[in-house]
Structure formats: C-alpha cells, structure tokens
A and B are shown apart, each in its own frame.
Chain A
Amino acid sequence: GQQLNQSPQSMFIQEGEDVSMNCTSSSIFNTWLWYKQDPGEGPVLLIALYKAGELTSNGRLTAQFGITRKDSFLNISASIPSDVGIYFCAGRVSGTYKYIFGTGTRLKVLA
C-alpha cells in the first residue's frame, strides 16, 4: 500500500534555530497537507499545497510541493518553545478525498 516516510523521526533543536523536515512517497500525490499535533489534541492544519513546485508560507512556516509530486518539505524558521509537537505530512489519494498520513516528525525545542 501507499506509504509516506517522514524524516527525521525526531529532533532536538535550540530555540531560535531553523528546522527542516521532509516527507517522501513512492506514489504521486496531487495535494499535500502539513499538520501539527500537540499532546492530547487533534492535528491542526498548518499549510496546504496544491501544485508541483508550489512554495507556500504561513508565518514562520514554509512548505514546498516537490517537483516530482512524490515529496514535500516543511521548514520552520527561528523556532520557539511552542513549536514542540509532532508534525505530520499527508498526501491526497488520487481521485478521492482520502489522505495518507506520514510517519511523523517529533520536534523538541530546547530553550
């Protein structure tokens, strides 16, 4: 079945540093979504990407839809303690409204 691999699996960074994470697949997707999940809560949508090569920002977050349509990247600039959480990518299954979720990147920020 389709699978989305995220890397890194987890990371510790210092406050103020920039963070990069990516999501790769063996399949092509037409839409990529990036979510953040805090403990005990549902995932919150951060950024949506609709076109190959698209670069979209939301505050300190920037995400890109890979040219091959098999990958996506999320960058967080100048990290702060509240960036702690698990980040998930999700790709939309072609011809449906269903999404496949990535394995997640757990981010920990050291003040």
Chain B
Amino acid sequence: SAVISQKPSRDICQRGTSLTIQCQVDSQVTMMFWYRQQPGQSLTLIATANQGSEATYESGFVIDKFPISRPNLTFSTLTVSNMSPEDSSIYLCSVPGVAGGSYNEQFFGPGTRLTVL
C-alpha cells in the first residue's frame, strides 16, 4: 500500500481564517480523495482530486469553501476557507490501491485534526 503523509497533523485556528492541508504520497496516483470526519462521526467524501483537471465535489461541498489543488501525481492540498467552529473536524486524504487492476481498495493518511475557535 502507498505511504501517505499529511501536514499539519493538527491545528487550532481562529474563525474567519483559512487553513491549507497538504497530502503527500510516496507513489504516483491518478486520483486522490479528501474526506471530512466530524467529531464522533463517520467519514464523508468532500471531493475527488484529479491531476490535470478540476476537482469533483460531492453534494454539500463547494469549491469556494474547499478549494483543492493537484499540481502533480503525488501531491494535493485542501484549503478550508473562512473557517467557523462547524469546520472543526478531522480532514483525511486517501488514495486508491490497485487490486485486480481496478483500484478497488483505498488507503488513508493519518489525518489533520482541525479545531476552529
């Protein structure tokens, strides 16, 4: 499986500010995914980041609030913009593995724990 790192591991931010989260993978991958995990909740997909094209956002998530960059096949960033306390969550990036040649599995980074005051 791929080795995935995220920066920062945690941060405490003031409302109204923005935070950019980085995700680095040790191998080239076509797709990267960004998830949000609110306190005590399950994981919800925010968007799919494809290299060379705009990210695809899930219902309820918009580019203005969560802009994503994907400059190459090993790196992506997610920005949480104009933060409010409701944005306090763990943000996780993930990449597909290759099983049977069809990217069936998915592997996660360690997450970024964000607290907004």
Query: Which A residues contact B (CB, under 8 angstroms)?
Result: 1, 31, 33, 35, 40-45, 48, 50, 88, 90, 92, 97-104
Contact = CB atoms under 8 A, between A and B. Distances in A.
Nearest to B106: A99
Nearest to A1: B59
Interface of B: 1, 4, 31, 33, 42-45, 48, 59, 92, 94, 96, 99-100, 103-111, 113
15 contacts: A1-B59, A35-B108, A42-B92, A43-B92, A43-B108, A44-B108, A45-B106, A48-B99, A48-B104, A50-B99, A97-B31, A98-B33, A99-B45, A101-B42, A104-B42
A68 B96 CA distance: 25
Residue among B100, B106, B107 having the largest count of chain A Cβ atoms under 10 Å: B106
Given A40-B111, A50-B99, 16 more contacts: A33-B105, A40-B113, A41-B110, A42-B4, A43-B43, A43-B92, A44-B108, A48-B105, A50-B100, A50-B104, A90-B106, A97-B103, A97-B106, A98-B48, A99-B106, A101-B43
